[in-house]
Structure 1
């Protein structure tokens, strides 16, 4: 190869590289002009968009790149992509499309906060939270998911559609999605496959249970669309939104709702405004901060006026005379700074007396907050009784998941901090009044469970509680328990224990309860045991009763409710049914062969006495014994005939046919 040849060869390679760079630059410019838009889940819309994109590409390749790009930009920025009209438009952060708020489907009532993408850029099926129901319904328009039934096409036959609950949206905004759309989304989002399989399995099991009540069959319960509490408020332009906690749903499922959507729940909105207005009243923080001062207590201690009738601030009804006596006992003990035990028998209304006591403290201007600790199973009952007897008090239930408790602490614990304008000419003095966040407590009473006391003791221990009420107070009879040690260190001004269980003549347990109430008076267990070492003597019993008289109030039903007739017991001997006899003998003989024909390996005979009690109650209490029958009436009749007790109950009923729900 000659020198010239080699030079020509090198020059040819350089020319090829330059041409490749130019092609790459042109391709990059064309990609910049193409809208960065994701494809929609709708196949027809996707095809149209792809055809438009391919047509635009062809036009751009024809040499009118700059002119076509400027034209598309001008149209998208000045006119709505749906109605082609101007005005106030919402711009998509993903592509160049703009829309009117009312032209979107579903229409938006407020400008979204943060980044927002149009329906063509975001697949709404990616936001499926759960599947609630499935029905055969008329097909809807393919342009959107959320359309009314009026928009359905009546000429076409019904199609299978699923009721969808969307993420970050309440049950008020659930909508129907066709099976075709959902199956398409399952291919794109693998997590939906598990949700669909779970729903199908539950739906099939529901179909095989013809006796389910209507509430259990309803995909959306009415309580889930009923406002329970308003947590916060925000303003977006002319639209006002509220953070709503729904009834029977946790705080973690709270959603932001436009005021027009919840305008029927005016009472909850007014209550939210009234609670937030507390911080604006003069002297409210000062009174709350000085609630532990003893001067105010000494003034109240001089004069005590007992209630002769049900006070007006008790809204739920009329208190019985013995309940009024219990209310006065609690109020007097509070003024005398004596911690007490309300040990009424179960059914005499210890909860109502406690609620009336806390309401009286609020009426008398005593500072708050108060803490009520109760078993988790009774918290809902406490909340209902507070709403009935003291609706003017702000009650917060503190329980649930870590996320729910975090939301409660964020929105329900403290009032918003008021910002005051500083005077430039005035200087701060050293004795200026300072208020901490604990002085801006928002609630009157905090309802919580024993478990939450142990989980979040770091948060709850910092509060200065005015009154501590412990339901089922006998849970504190063991001084080594974690609940006792945790609650004993709380800063409280007054303590009340509620218990319907009488003391079991155990001096150690009695001393532990009294030590929790008043550690100064009951400080040494050894001295207490030495003083009452022979409790069988009548003199020591009298001294013990005298010591506990000011701290304990005990009533039983026969003493306070004279109008009740005396209780009578009548024992009736009932024969076992044929099935009960066979199963009873099989359990005693440990005949697994006979039992396996009914319950299989699920029946355990580790506790024979418990299994025999189940058989005597009803044989269907054993796993696998109940037969599956499609005829509801036959299933009811079989339910009666297999239990001797139900047969007797059927004869005692006025109607000869026992209506049993749940089967």
Structure 2
């Protein structure tokens, strides 16, 4: 943090700019046209709409009659209510709210306490006075332009604008809460993350009024909504990103129309040189050749390798090979939680490809479509006069700027009207088993997308029955696998050898599936143990009470399905921990009492505590999975009482924060002992091979979800034997679920 603060001290001159109104040199200062977000540029100044503006009344006293209006916002005042009293005749003036630089404050980031300067510089007495200064993030400016404001300057502005004082008091309370949370989690409070001052990518460039080059910058780990125009002199340290932007601009001009590419058969005998992330394993090279062969012969396929064998890398290698042959664009659809991992793998293995992540709020997606989707039409016309026929001039397809668009299932449904208009060379769907239901909205939307080739990635092609596999094949090859009913009838007796042989023959051209035990013999083994645990006395009492209370529902032969599910869910929660049903109202007097309470109320927690103490002593690193957010909260309390460092991922964690936590856990010499994960949110697209112990605290209804969770540790990169412990409460609903 200190180095970043020093950097901010150097770069703290850029605040919102103010200009004198040309009509009268004696008028107060008003906001000028500073550099900010895209929508603030190249547009005439508009009056600021103040949400708290009083209708036809003075903003100070609330009375009407003889009001003067601010020329830059919707506030109105009596001349006598202004300080100092307004005594000019011109209608063009700016109210104090618009004049103070601090009204352009977006938020306070930090408070720093300094020693106040001595009034008598010759005095040798120790300084007793302290003064504060505040780190400010300005509206429309990036984090590299944050600056410190002195306590005196802030107080003077707050005398005129009382809301500034309220915002400061609110921040003090927030900071106290952050300190408590930081002490609990062992993390440092960071006012500005270094990523926020690091250029992620450049979207556009222009020259400003004085001829300086400016770039429209997306910052690392920030959304597209927070893009800003930056002077070239402010981002000179990010020369690689500038060169990357220029290379993408120049590449299209040089290569011309992608339509000139012709399909050719291609087989790789060794790892391709255009992959920069490393060398493919032999089975991955086989996967790449399978995908290339299928694409050339127009056969849509499933890559169904077991979890942990690198389906993502094989897919990226395939798309990179198409890029080398000038085929594109490509659409990759994946769970939202895995998009960051996809982006990172593309940057590692195929950095030459222009990969754009398409998700987020409507404002962010608008900016992506404006700057990342297409090259400007007018620039292309100059190019086409030389290199292409006039018939292609107005085709948007020929102006596509990206090579790969990464997006989520939600965006496929939400923005289908936009994405359907693009002709996609290849569609890759990660976790393709999501398409097993033909009635789902995702299936219906993706089926209608204009795609020449399709690839599904799934570690579990069949989860429940063959109908799911038939549905995936129907999505890929609707003509060959058109009637699901006919397929069900044809393979109704799948236990017969002839039926199995026939099914294998049908699927072989469309499905490639390998297992770790066959292709990764050097991968350390994994072993799963089921540990049956007794409920505590209190848990047994509650368990009996739940069954007794719901006896009528349980005894009913017909109906009551929803009620029965609710009863089962209550029983499952109770098996995890007594606090899931009845948590004490009073806070524990001290950490020792808090730990004792947690252990006394759960048989699983008592066993877990004994295991964790041993695992910690032996230097193991642990992943703990649970279905329930509340249970993860209790496990977090437990780890805090034990003063063990940990990370946590659940459905509430954003993609950027999720990747930061994963990186922190996987970092070399990381001190994080444990990772708490929800089974669904933490079971997909994560590499946690630095852990060697997995504890399934409570099992999922779908066993494949637990298999996904186990595969986070038992995968490529694992160097130790992986132990998996599944905790099951003896004589309860959990045993019936197994």
In the alignment, which residue of structure 1 is the partner of 2:515? 556
2:611 is aligned with 1:648: yes
Taking the aligned partners of 1:347 and 1:568, their CA distance within structure 2 comes to: 16
How far is 1:525 from its partner? 2.6
Taking the aligned partners of 1:322 and 1:509, their CA distance within structure 2 comes to: 26
In the alignment, which residue of structure 2 is the partner of 1:402? 362
Distance change in 2, residues 1:235/1:543 (3 Å): same
How far is 1:267 from its partner? 1.0
Unpaired runs of 5+ residues, structure 1, are: 1-88, 99-103, 141-153, 592-603
Taking the aligned partners of 1:332 and 1:471, their CA distance within structure 2 comes to: 20
In the alignment, which residue of structure 2 is the partner of 1:223? 195
Taking the aligned partners of 2:570 and 2:528, their CA distance within structure 1 comes to: 28
How far is 1:276 from its partner? 0.7
In the alignment, which residue of structure 2 is the partner of 1:322? 283
In the alignment, which residue of structure 2 is the partner of 1:608? 570
Counterpart selection for 1:415 from 372, 375, 379: 375
Paired residues of 1:139 and 1:178 also in contact (CA < 8 A): no
Taking the aligned partners of 2:390 and 2:149, their CA distance within structure 1 comes to: 65
Taking the aligned partners of 2:22 and 2:43, their CA distance within structure 1 comes to: 12
Paired residues of 2:303 and 2:458 also in contact (CA < 8 A): yes
Distance change in 2, residues 1:161/1:336 (3 Å): same
Paired residues of 2:539 and 2:575 also in contact (CA < 8 A): no
Range with greater deviation from structure 2 (214-223 or 480-489): 214-223
Distance change in 2, residues 1:506/1:635 (3 Å): closer
What are the within-5 Å matches in structure 2 for residues 113-262 of structure 1? 122-138=99-115, 157-178=129-150, 181-182=153-154, 185=157, 195-196=167-168, 198-209=170-181, 211-212=183-184, 217-236=189-208, 237-262=210-235
Paired residues of 1:227 and 1:265 also in contact (CA < 8 A): yes
In the alignment, which residue of structure 1 is the partner of 2:20? 92
Counterpart selection for 2:334 from 374, 386, 390: 374
Taking the aligned partners of 1:562 and 1:430, their CA distance within structure 2 comes to: 55
In the alignment, which residue of structure 2 is the partner of 1:527? 486
Paired residues of 1:231 and 1:411 also in contact (CA < 8 A): yes
Paired residues of 2:35 and 2:140 also in contact (CA < 8 A): no
TM-score, normalised via structure 2 length: 0.62
How far is 1:93 from its partner? 3.8
Distance change in 2, residues 1:625/1:171 (3 Å): farther
Paired residues of 2:182 and 2:189 also in contact (CA < 8 A): no
How far is 1:193 from its partner? 6.7
Paired residues of 1:615 and 1:622 also in contact (CA < 8 A): no
How far is 1:653 from its partner? 2.8
Aligned pairs, how many? 518
2:320 is aligned with 1:359: yes
Distance change in 2, residues 1:388/1:167 (3 Å): same
Range with greater deviation from structure 2 (332-341 or 210-219): 210-219
In the alignment, which residue of structure 2 is the partner of 1:308? 269
CA-to-aligned-CA distance 1:275-301 (integer Å, 9 cap, x gap): 0112321xx343x2456xxxx33xx24
**3-state SS, counterpart of residue 617 of structure 2:** coil
TM-score, normalised via structure 1 length: 0.69
Greater strand fraction, Structure 1 or Structure 2: 2
Unpaired runs of 5+ residues, structure 2, are: 1-16, 27-31, 46-71, 73-93, 118-125, 548-565, 620-640, 648-738
CA RMSD of aligned residues (A): 4.0
How far is 1:520 from its partner? 1.9
CA-to-aligned-CA distance 1:67-110 (integer Å, 9 cap, x gap): xxxxxxxxxxxxxxxxxxxxxx9963466559xxxxx9x999xx
CA-to-aligned-CA distance 1:28-85 (integer Å, 9 cap, x gap): xxxxxxxxxxxxxxxxxxxxxxxxxxxxxxxxxxxxxxxxxxxxxxxxxxxxxxxxxx
CA-to-aligned-CA distance 1:457-479 (integer Å, 9 cap, x gap): 11100000000000111111111
Distance change in 2, residues 1:210/1:623 (3 Å): farther
What are the within-5 Å matches in structure 2 for residues 395-544 of structure 1? 395-419=355-379, 432-504=391-463, 506-544=465-503
In the alignment, which residue of structure 2 is the partner of 1:661? 645
Paired residues of 2:436 and 2:472 also in contact (CA < 8 A): yes
Taking the aligned partners of 2:328 and 2:484, their CA distance within structure 1 comes to: 33
2:266 is aligned with 1:338: no
